[in-house]
Amino acid sequence: MLNGTEDEEKWLAEGIAGIQHNAFYMHRALDSNNLREALKYSAQMLSELRTSKLSPRKYYELYMRAFDELKRLELFFKDDSKHGVSVVDLYELVQHAGNILPRLYLLCTVGSIYIKSKEAPDKEVLKDLVEMCRGVQHPIRGLFLRSYLAQISRDKLPDIGSEYEGDADTVMDAVDFVLQNFTEMNKLWVRMQHQGPGRVREKREKERSELQDLVGKNLHVLSQIEGVDLEMYKETVLPRVLEQVVNCKDDLAQYYLMDCIIQVFPDEYHLQTLETLLGACPQLQPTVDVKTVLSRLMDRLSNYAASSADVLPEFLQVEAFSKLSNAIGKVIEAQVDMPAVGAITLYVSLLTFTLRVHPDRLDHVDQVLGACVKKLSNIPKLEDSRAMKQVVALLSAPLEKYNDIVTALTLSNYPRVMDHLDIGTNKLMAMVIIQSIMKNNSCISTADKVEVLFELIKGLIKDTDGADVDELDEEDFKEEQNSVARLIHMLYNDEPEEMLKIICIVRKHTMVGGPKRLPFTVSSLVFSALRLLRQLQGQEGDIVGEEASMTPNKIFQLLTQIIESLSAVPSAELALRLYLQCAEAANGCDIEHVAYEFFTQAFVLYEEEIADSKAQVTAIHLIIGTLQRMNVFGVENRDTLTHKATGYSARLLKKADQCRAVYACSHLFWVDDQDGIKDGERVLLCLKRALRIANAAQQMANVARGTGGLVSLFVEILNKYIYFFEKGNKQITSSAIQGLIEFINTEMQSDSTNPDSVADAFLASTLRYIQFQKQKGGVVGEKFESIKL
C-alpha cells in the first residue's frame, strides 16, 4: 500500500494542505454566517480524511488537524442565531453530503450539539450515531471516526449525576453506547490484520499496536462512568467486553484488551468478578501471552491486597487463590504449546500473589509448587535458561517472603521443584538458600529439617551424575564449598542429642562429597562436633550416665571417622590439624587414651603422609604447640610423645628448621603452669642441642656459600635462654646467657659474616630488653643484674 516514507510524507503534506485550504474557506463562511458554504467546505475538508495512503501515525496527524477545525465548526453549529437553522434540521442537513466519511464526521459534530440541546432523547441520538458509523468499514478511517465519536460524546453520556441523566435506565444506555462503539472499533482493529498482502504482517502489527489506544480508550470511558457499579460491571460490562475479546480471535487484540481490562477497572471489581475474568483466559488464542496477562492481574491484586489489610477478607471471601490457581491450571492445559517458561512465570505470579495475600497459608505455597512440579515432570529436560530463571524466582520467593528457610523446609514440594533444575541452576539455587540462611542468621535446629535442607542443596554437596567436572570454575567451586562449610555452622541445637543427630546427618551427606569437597566440609563438621563436645561438658553434671549414647567417647569415635575420611582426599595436613584439635578437645575432656590416640594418628600422618619439608616444619611446630598444652597425659605417654616430637624435630631437612624445632621442643619440658612439668635439665639439653645445630648450620653455610646469615638463629636461641632464665629455670645461668651474647657479637663482627640488619636489630632489641629488665629492679632486676653487657 505504501511506497516508502518519503511518499508518505508527501501525501501527508498534501492532505494537510487540502485541509488548510478548505478550512480557510470554511472560516470565511463561518465568519459570514453562511451555513451552506460552511457545510460545503467542511465536507471538502473532511474529504481529505478519505485517503488510504497514510500509515496510522501519519493519518493521526491529519486527523488531529481536522479535529481542531471541527471544534470551530461545532461552535458555529451551536449558535443557531448565526445560521438560523434548528438543530433538528441541521442534523438532517449534514446528512445530505454524498460522501460517507465527511457526512459522518459532520453528523457526529451536529449530534453532539443535538444532545446538548436536549431536543431529542440523548440515547436516541447516541444510538443513531453509533449505528450510522457502521458505514465506514475501512479499519483506519473507521477507527478514527469512531474515536471521534467517543471523544465528542464522552461528556454527554447519560451517566448518573450528569445533566443528561434521564430515567432509571439511562446509565445502561450510556454503557450500551460505549460498548457498541467499543465492539465495532475492535472489529475494525482486528480486521486490519487480515487486509493487504501477507508479507507485511509485521509492519501491520506495528501499525495496529499504534492504534490500540483508540480501542482501549472506550474501556477507559466505561471505567469512568459513575453509574457503572459493581453490579452492572458484573452483569453487563464485563461479560460483553469479554465476549468481544474472546470472539475476535485475534491475539494482539486479546492480549491488549485483557491487559486493558485489568488496568482500567478498579481492583475490587476484579476481585469480585475473578471467575468471569479468569474464565475467559483459556478461551483466548493459543498465541496470546496469557501468562503476562494473568501475571499482571495477580500483580495488581497482590498490590491491592498489600495496600490495606482491610481488603484481605474480600480475598478470602471470593476464594481468590483457588480461582486463580484453577485458571492457571486450565490455561496451561489449554495452551499445550506454551513454553515451560510461560507456565513457570504463571506459577511465580501466583506464588507472589499468595505470599502477599495469604502469607499464613503455607499449604497454598506448597500447592503452587506442586502444580509446578507436575508441569515440569511433563517436560523431559528443562533447558531454557529463561525457564530456569523463573524456577529460581519461584523458589526464591518464599525464602524472601518468610526470611526463613525453616518455613521453606516444610514445603514438601520444594525439593521436588529443585530436582528439575539443571546442575548449574540447582547449585545457584542452593547458594541462594544458603545465602538466605546466612543473611537472616536463621538457625536450623532439628535433624529433620537438616535432612531436608541437605536434600535441597545436594547439588553442592556431591557430584551430580553427568556433571562435567572440567567445566567447573575453581573459584566458584571454592565459594560454594565455603558456603556449605559456613552453613554447617548454622545448624545448631541446644539439645546435645538432637545436635548429635544433626551432625550425623550432615556427616552422612558430606561424606559422599568426594575428595574435592571434603577438605571444606570436614573441618566445619569437626568443629561443629567439637562444639557439641563443649556443650556436653557444660551440661555434664546433669546427664551423666543417663544417656549412654551421648558420651564424649562416642563423639570422639565419630570425629575419628570423620577425619579418617580425609585420607581419601588426601589432605594429610588438614587431617593432622584436626587430629590435634581433637586431641586438645580430648585433653579438655580429660580422656587420656583418646588424646593419645589422636596424637598417634597425627604422628602417623606426619610420618607417612607429610613429605614436603615445609609442611613438615609447620606440622612439627603444630604438634609441639599442641603437645605443650596437653596436661592429660601420664608421664609415660608424655615421654613417648615428647620424645617422638623432639626426634622428628631433629630430623628436619634444613638445619635452620631443625634448630628452630629443637628449641621449640624445649617448651615441652617446661610448662608455665602451677602443676606443669618443669624439667630444667632437659630444657637446657634442647637449647644446647639447638646451639649445636645452629653452629653446624653456620659452618655449613660458610663452607657452601661463603656467607653467614644465620646469626639470627643464635639470637633466637638467646631469646629462649632469656625466657627460661626469667621463668626461673635453674639450669639456665646468667653466665650462659652472657657467653651466648659474646659469642653472637663475635660472630657478627667476624669477617665472614655479611652485615645482617635484621639480625642486628633483633639482637639490639633483645639487649635492650635485658637492659630494661635490669632497670626494673626488684627480683627481676636483681636476677638480670648478673648479666653484663
Partner 1 sequence: MNYLVGAFKPPCNIFISFTDGRSRKQVPLKKENGKTVMVALFQSQENIVGEVVIEPIHGKKVEHNGVKIELLGQIELYFDRGNFYDFTSLVRELDVPGELYERKTYPFEFSTVEMPYESYNGVNVRLRYILKVTISRNYVSNIVEYQDFVVRNYTPPPSINNSIKMEVGIEDCLHIEFEYSKSKYHLKDVVIGKIYFLLVRIKLKNMELEIRRQESTGSGPNTYVETETLAKFELMDGAPVRGESIPIRLFLSPYELTPTYRNINNKFSVKYYLNLVLVDEEDRRYFKQQEITMYRNLEAS
Binding site residues, partner 1, CB under 8 A = 50, 92, 95-96, 98-101, 103, 131-132, 134-139, 141-142, 187, 191, 195
CB of 353 to partner 1, least distance (A): 40
597, three cell numbers: 590416640
CB of 193 to partner 1, least distance (A): 12
User: For partner 1, which is the closer residue by CB, 243 or 540?
Assistant: 243
User: For partner 1, which is the closer residue by CB, 215 or 787?
Assistant: 215
User: For partner 1, which is the closer residue by CB, 135 or 514?
Assistant: 135
CB of 1 to partner 1, least distance (A): 11
User: For partner 1, which is the closer residue by CB, 244 or 295?
Assistant: 244
414, three cell numbers: 520444594
CB of 187 to partner 1, least distance (A): 8
User: For partner 1, which is the closer residue by CB, 141 or 682?
Assistant: 141
User: For partner 1, which is the closer residue by CB, 215 or 450?
Assistant: 215
User: For partner 1, which is the closer residue by CB, 215 or 418?
Assistant: 215
| Rounded Cα distance, 506 and 455, in Å | 10
For residues 521 and 511, is the Cβ–Cβ distance under 8 A? no
Q: Per residue, what are the HEC states of 677-738?
A: CECHHHHHHHHHHHHHHHHHHHHHHHHHHCCCCCHHHHHHHHHHHHHHHHHCCCCCCHHHHH
The single-letter DSSP state of residue 591 is: -
- As to burial, measured by CB atoms within 10 angstroms (0-12 exposed, 13-18 middle, 19+ buried), residue 211 is buried
Residue 46: closest CA among 66, 76, 65, 60: 66
| Rounded Cα distance, 432 and 641, in Å | 47
CB of 265 to partner 1, least distance (A): 29
User: For partner 1, which is the closer residue by CB, 48 or 422?
Assistant: 48
CB of 130 to partner 1, least distance (A): 10
| Rounded Cα distance, 238 and 676, in Å | 91
For residues 418 and 429, is the Cβ–Cβ distance under 8 A? yes
CB of 90 to partner 1, least distance (A): 13
**CA angle at 689 for the pair 683 and 690, rounded to the nearest 5°:** 90
| Rounded Cα distance, 787 and 736, in Å | 9
CB of 52 to partner 1, least distance (A): 9
CB of 61 to partner 1, least distance (A): 20
The single-letter DSSP state of residue 236 is: I
Q: Per residue, what are the HEC states of 169-222?
A: CHHHHHHHHHHHHHHHHHHHHHHHCCCCCHHHHHHHHHHHHHHHHHHHHHHHHH
User: For partner 1, which is the closer residue by CB, 199 or 381?
Assistant: 199
Dihedral sign, Cα of residue 460, residue 463, residue 466, residue 471: positive
User: For partner 1, which is the closer residue by CB, 92 or 400?
Assistant: 92
For residues 440 and 403, is the Cβ–Cβ distance under 8 A? yes
Cα torsion at 204, 207, 208, 212 (round to 10°)? 170
CB of 20 to partner 1, least distance (A): 23
For residues 684 and 731, is the Cβ–Cβ distance under 8 A? yes
